[in-house]
């Protein structure tokens, strides 16, 4: 780390929301360009800066600031210039000159300790003194907060969040209980709070620390897809992580349960611990699903068989018995689940169902969990499909989702059809069900054999296995793609059989490669040369997607993206770049949003729907259109429809997407999918991971790797066990009713 000192000569750019600046300071008659978060910067200010020297490809050498500290000027000339800059409300050049003439080098001491003396200056009364004092105190407190927390490795952005939340009480509140940061401020983890606490001398067995640590452990566990955590496992991990005795952990669990901060529940002789949100989500889904399944719906005066025959004739198709059962069930039942693999006619069934309902004057809403899935649904049906978030009219409050459509303001429709339901986690399902009024039909469509949702829960599988609603499982391959090896091999893999490889003039190929570097080189060559030559309509950036099981290693997402960026979007004098942590972004890069962000604004540039909105979600993919270094923003176009401007504070939510994990590909479809096949952790390298990966392809699948690893994945039908009590809750109530 380097350190420089100097006075601010000019502010080139400043973002008032996040404090990011580009400025020039003078150090020993040398002008230096600095960049970083300095929210209180003004011209004429003396700064001590700690950071590192970097070389920008366009703007040359710059000093990237990590920590900044203000040195107030101590000469009358410096004090006057500082105050004349307008840094303190109520003081301009004229007043600054008068203050320095009267108080000289004691001016700052007067402002801080004896502000009433300003009345000695002609034209300053009580009202103006109050304005000056409020402004001076606000700045002083913000600077104190910055200086206090930066000593503990807290970033400037995090300091701003703390000050925004607690204002002048920031330091006092955090000193009393540093762990409150993990509860009150988004993005604050237990480890950061614990570091502050340990430096402040807070004991290991502090109740605040243990309580916060327990919540941290549960949240980490739920981040793996669970809605709850086994009690004994939680106690064991808490002892290891927190380094305290078992009795302290159990005492804290009892206290937090008594206070209503967690919920402990027994199921089949074992106890489970819930955080309150997931507990109430499970209760809410259980109640609403059972209510809908038991509700009496208005019977439709429809000759169902006749309507199905008409649809078959108009579309020159013939439904299989299971497909007819699904259509009839949707028309007769109030709630139905339709599940099946690729080619089993799910989309055609949706078309038939919606067409019949609309023919008889019923309003049908269609939705899917992600933007890409909703777009596919729209393209397949010719009707508007929204993301579930858009359907529920999502807003934002304290960086959390807030939906307009709820029990008090339900969705105004007769039928809701939801596709790609395997991706719906417990939180989203809870919010969707809350907005469905009694009498509205709900049709849930999805492939239960795909990977479960990224978020907590195993909702689709739990609902199917609970036997609480009508379920139709589609087995017959329906569409023309019955001749497709992608479809046939997907079903083979799902049945535990090896796929048929390298059939001439087909769409499913295997290229042998044992070593990771050989597989990597083969994949790069495929995307850069062979596949675009094989089909000249395929754009190597837009139409070909690598799906890999893992993030780390030679064939992991991180390394693949680094290599592919060099080949597919190489460095060029005409392409602007931006380094962020260990990642390099370049204009033209394919990128992905990796977490839900409920505050990012977007503007529509194509497609139909609202002209603007908020919310970019985990898995959304796009391309970098522009990088503005001076304003420190990156512009991304998602799905060729929505434009989003990213400030630097949000760049940790973006990553390169030439290669993505199979988990992140859920709900998406790509013309060409390339999958590296290699040996990895048994709990990860399993059948439904491979099945999910190849079913993302529309026109071609190429697997590059070893036959041994393919066979291992197909034979391995084990996966991470997800802890959820949804199925148990539903069955308990149904058994009680029976």
Instruction: State the average pLDDT over residues 322-339.
Output: 91
pLDDT for position 69 = 75
The confidence band for 272, taking pLDDT boundaries of 50, 70 and 90, is: very high
Q: Which residues contact 557 (CB under 8 A, 6 or more apart)?
A: 548, 550, 551, 655, 659, 660, 661
State residue 162's pLDDT score.
82
> Average pLDDT for residues 367-380, to the nearest whole number?
87
| Annotated binding residue 35 | no
Q: Which of 9 and 144 is assigned the larger pLDDT?
A: 9
Taking alpha carbons only, the member of 366, 361, 373, 369 closest to residue 349 is 366
Q: Which residue has the tokens 């034979």?
A: 715
pLDDT at 56 over 80: no
The pLDDT, as a whole number, for residue 290 is 93
270-275/262-267 β-pairing = antiparallel
d(CA 388, CA 10): 47
Of 3-7, 10-14, 24-28, 306-310, the range with the lowest mean pLDDT is: 10-14
Instruction: Report, as an integer, the average pLDDT of 321-336.
Output: 90
Give the whole-number percent of the chain exceeding pLDDT 70. 95
Q: Which two tokens stand for residue 657?
A: 């997407």
Q: Please tell me the predicted confidence (pLDDT) of residue 616.
A: 86
* pLDDT per residue as tens digits for the range 195-207: 888 877 888 888 8
Nearest to 466 by CA among 454, 448, 451, 453: 448
CB 289 within 8 A of CB 470: no
Instruction: Report pLDDT for 187.
Output: 67
Residues sharing a CB contact under 8 Å with residue 200, sequence separation 6 or more, in sequence order: 175, 178
Examine the pLDDT at 255 and tell me if it is beyond 90: yes
CB atoms within 10 A of CB 618: 16
As given in the structure block, the two tokens for residue 588 are: 């033209």
Residue 508 phi, psi dihedral angles, 5° rounding: -140, 110
Q: Which residue would you say has higher pLDDT here, 250 or 343?
A: 250
Interhelix angle 557-568/516-525, rounded to 10 degrees, is: 40
Task: Please tell me the distance from the alpha carbon of residue 604 to that of residue 514, in angstroms, as a whole number.
Answer: 46
Say if CB 639 and CB 621 are below 8 A apart.
yes
* CA–CA distance, 420 with 372 (Å, rounded to integer): 11
- In angstroms, the CA 212 to CA 732 distance is 32
Please report which confidence band the pLDDT of residue 482 belongs to, taking 50, 70 and 90 as the band edges.
low
For the cut 90, the answer to whether the pLDDT of residue 289 exceeds it is yes
The whole-angstrom separation of Cα 330 and Cα 338 is 9
How much is the pLDDT for 492? 92
Q: What is the CA radius of gyration of the chain?
A: 30
- Mean pLDDT over 578-589 rounds to 86
Q: Is 719 exposed, middle or buried (0-12, 13-18, 19+ CB in 10 A)?
A: middle
| pLDDT (mean) for 112-127 | 87
Instruction: Tell whether 548 is in a known binding site.
Output: no
Q: Is 131 annotated as a binding residue?
A: no
The bridge status of strand 697-705 relative to strand 670-677 is parallel
Instruction: Please give the backbone phi and psi of residue 654, each rounded to the nearest 5 degrees, phi first.
Output: -115, 145
DSSP E strands, 147-245: 229-230
CA triplet 286, 291, 292: central angle to 5 degrees?
Answer: 105
**How far lies 604's CA from each of 592, 612, 638, in Å?**
18, 6, 10
Residue 92 annotated in ligand binding: no
In the predicted model, what is the mean pLDDT of residues 627-654? Answer: 86
Indicate if the pLDDT at residue 17 is higher than 70.
no
Helix (H, G, I), strand (E, B), or coil: what is residue 166?
helix
Cα distance between residue 211 and residue 252, in whole Å: 6
Residue 519 confidence class, pLDDT cut points 50, 70, 90: very high
pLDDT attached to residue 16 = 63
Pairs from 712-715 (Cβ < 8 Å, separation ≥ 24)? 712/679, 712/685, 713/677, 713/685, 713/686, 713/687, 713/689, 714/493, 714/496, 714/497, 714/498, 714/687, 714/690, 715/496, 715/687
Mean pLDDT on 61-79: 80
How far is it, in rounded angstroms, from Cα 91 to Cα 97? 10
What per-residue string of b and e applies to 526-551 under the rule 16 or more CB within 10 Å gives b? Answer: bbeeebbeeeeebebbebbbbbbbbb
Residue 349 has pLDDT above 90, yes or no: yes
Sign of CA dihedral 459, 461, 465, 467: positive
Pairing state between β 270-275 and 229-230: antiparallel
* Average of per-residue pLDDT across 127-148: 79
Is the predicted pLDDT of residue 454 greater than 80, yes or no?
yes
Alpha-helical (H) ranges within 466-599 are 485-494, 516-525, 531-534, 557-568
Q: Is 239 helix (H, G, I), strand (E, B) or coil?
A: helix
Local confidence band at 169 (pLDDT 50, 70, 90 cut-offs): confident
Across 691-697, average pLDDT: 93
Q: What is the residue whose two structure tokens read 């429709």?
A: 413
Higher pLDDT, 616 or 282: 282
Is the pLDDT at 396 greater than 60? The verdict is no
Residue 648 pLDDT grade (very low, low, confident, very high; cuts 50, 70, 90): confident
Q: For residue 344, say whether it is annotated as part of any ligand binding site.
A: yes
Token output for 82: 């500082």
Which band of pLDDT confidence, cut at 50, 70 and 90, is reported for residue 147?
low
pLDDT of amino acid 368: 93
Instruction: Take residue 91 and report the two structure tokens written for it.
Output: 């003081």
Mean pLDDT is lowest, of 342-351, 513-522, 646-655, 725-734, for: 646-655
Structure tokens at 652: 């940790």
- Cα 424 from Cα 453, distance rounded (Å): 6
Does residue 508 register a pLDDT over 80?
Answer: yes
The chain-wide mean pLDDT, for the chain, equals: 87
- Owner of token pair 């950071």: 51
Q: Residue 53 class from Cβ within 10 Å (0-12 exposed, 13-18 middle, 19+ buried)?
A: exposed
- Of 180-189, 274-283, 617-626, the one with minimum mean pLDDT is 180-189
Average pLDDT for 293-312: 86
CA-CA distance, 491 to 481, in Å (whole number)? 13
Least confident of 6-10, 83-87, 435-439, 651-655: 83-87
Question: Rounded to whole angstroms, how far apart are CA atoms 270 and 268?
Answer: 6
Tokens of 179: 């762990």
What is the secondary structure of 290-342 as a DSSP string? HHHHHSPPPPP---HHHHHHHHHHHHT----HHHHHHHHHHHHSSEEEEEE-T
- The pLDDT of residue 608 is 66
| Arithmetic mean of pLDDT, 67-94 | 78
Contact 239, 245 (CB under 8 A): yes
* pLDDT category of residue 400 using cuts at 50, 70 and 90: low
Residue 479 has pLDDT above 60, yes or no: no
Which residues are paired to 6 by β-bridges? 47
Per-residue pLDDT at 311: 92
Task: Name the pLDDT band for 33 (thresholds 50, 70, 90).
Answer: very high
268: left (phi over 0), alpha (psi -120 to 50) or beta: left
Burial of 173 from C-beta contacts in 10 A (0-12 / 13-18 / 19+): middle
d(CA 7, CA 11): 11
pLDDT for residue 626: 94
CB 65 within 8 A of CB 632: no
What's the average model confidence in pLDDT over 585-592?
Answer: 95
Rounded mean pLDDT, 482-487: 82
Q: In this predicted model, which residue has the larger pLDDT, 731 or 639?
A: 731
Q: Are 354 and 383 in contact (CB under 8 A)?
A: yes
727 or 614, which is more confident? Answer: 727
556 versus 202: which is more confidently predicted? Answer: 556
Give the CB-side neighbour count of residue 73, counting CA atoms within 13 A: 22
The phi-psi region of residue 259 (left if phi > 0; otherwise alpha if psi is between -120 and 50; otherwise beta) is: alpha
């Amino acid at each position: 780390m380097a350190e420089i000192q100097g006075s601010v000569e000019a502010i080139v750019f400043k973002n008032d929301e996040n404090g990011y600046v580009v400025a020039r300071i003078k150090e020993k008659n040398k002008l230096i360009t600095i960049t970083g978060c300095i929210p209180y910067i003004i011209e004429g200010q003396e700064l001590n800066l700690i950071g590192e020297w970097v070389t920008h490809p366009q703007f040359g050498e710059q000093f990237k600031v990590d920590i900044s500290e203000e040195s107030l000027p101590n000469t009358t000339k410096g004090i006057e210039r500082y105050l004349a800059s307008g840094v303190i409300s109520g003081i301009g050049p004229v007043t600054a000159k008068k203050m320095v003439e009267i108080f000289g080098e004691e001016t700052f001491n007067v402002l801080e300790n004896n502000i009433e003396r300003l009345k000695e200056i002609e034209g300053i009364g009580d009202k103006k003194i109050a304005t000056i004092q409020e402004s001076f105190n606000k700045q002083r407190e913000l600077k104190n907060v910055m200086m206090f927390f930066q000593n503990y490795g807290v970033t400037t952005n995090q300091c701003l969040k703390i000050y925004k939340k607690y204002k002048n009480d920031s330091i006092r509140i955090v000193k009393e209980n540093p762990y409150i940061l993990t509860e009150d401020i988004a993005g604050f983890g237990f480890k950061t709070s614990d570091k502050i606490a340990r430096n402040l001398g807070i004991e290991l067995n502090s109740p605040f620390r243990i309580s916060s640590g327990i919540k941290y452990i549960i949240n980490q566990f739920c981040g793996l897809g669970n809605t709850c955590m086994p009690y004994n496992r939680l106690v064991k991990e808490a002892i290891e992580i927190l380094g305290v005795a078992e009795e302290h952990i159990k005492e804290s669990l009892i206290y937090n349960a008594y206070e209503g901060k967690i919920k402990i529940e027994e199921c089949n002789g074992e106890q489970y611990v819930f955080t309150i949100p997931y507990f109430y989500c499970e209760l809410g889904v259980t109640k609403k699903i059972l209510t809908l399944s038991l509700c009496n719906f208005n019977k439709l005066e429809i000759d169902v068989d006749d309507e199905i025959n008409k649809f078959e004739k108009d579309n020159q198709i013939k439904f299989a018995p299971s497909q007819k059962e699904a259509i009839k069930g949707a028309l007769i039942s109030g709630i139905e689940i339709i599940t099946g693999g690729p080619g089993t006619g799910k989309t055609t069934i949706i078309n038939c169902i919606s067409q019949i309902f609309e023919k008889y004057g019923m309003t049908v809403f269609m939705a899917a969990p992600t933007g890409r899935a909703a777009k596919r649904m729209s393209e397949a049906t010719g009707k508007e499909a929204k993301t579930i978030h858009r359907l529920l009219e999502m807003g934002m409050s304290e960086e959390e989702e807030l939906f307009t459509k709820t029990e008090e303001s339900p969705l105004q429709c007769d039928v809701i059809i939801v596709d790609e339901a395997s991706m719906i986690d417990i939180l989203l399902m809870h919010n969707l069900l809350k907005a469905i009024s009694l009498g509205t039909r709900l049709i849930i469509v999805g492939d239960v054999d795909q990977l479960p949702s990224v978020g907590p829960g195993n909702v689709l599988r739990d609902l199917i296995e609970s036997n609480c609603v009508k379920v139709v499982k589609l087995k017959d391959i329906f569409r023309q793609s019955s001749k497709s090896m992608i479809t046939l091999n997907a079903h083979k893999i799902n049945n535990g059989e090896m796929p048929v490889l390298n059939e001439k003039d087909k769409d499913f190929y295997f290229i042998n490669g044992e070593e990771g570097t050989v597989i990597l080189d083969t994949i790069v060559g495929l995307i850069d040369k062979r596949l675009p030559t094989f089909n000249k309509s395929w754009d190597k950036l837009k139409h070909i997607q690598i799906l890999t099981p893992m993030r780390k290693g030679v064939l992991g997402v991180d390394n693949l993206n680094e290599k592919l960026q060099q080949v597919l979007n190489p460095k060029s004098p005409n392409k602007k770049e931006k380094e962020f942590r260990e990642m390099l972004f370049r204009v033209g890069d394919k990128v992905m949003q990796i977490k839900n962000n409920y505050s990012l604004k977007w503007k529509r540039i194509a497609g139909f729907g609202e002209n603007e909105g908020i919310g970019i979600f985990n898995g959304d993919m796009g391309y970098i259109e522009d990088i503005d270094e001076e304003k420190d923003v990156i512009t991304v176009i998602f799905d060729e429809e929505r434009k989003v401007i990213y400030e630097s504070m949000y760049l940790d939510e973006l990553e390169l997407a030439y290669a993505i994990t199979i988990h992140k590909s859920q709900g998406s479809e790509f013309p060409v999918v390339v999958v590296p096949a290699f040996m990895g952790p048994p709990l990860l390298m399993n059948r439904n991971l491979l099945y999910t990966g190849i079913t993302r392809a529309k026109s071609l699948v190429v697997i590059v790797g070893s036959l041994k690893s393919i066979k291992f994945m197909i034979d391995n039908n084990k996966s991470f066990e997800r802890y959820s009590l949804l199925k148990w809750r539903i069955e308990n109530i149904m058994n009680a009713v029976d």
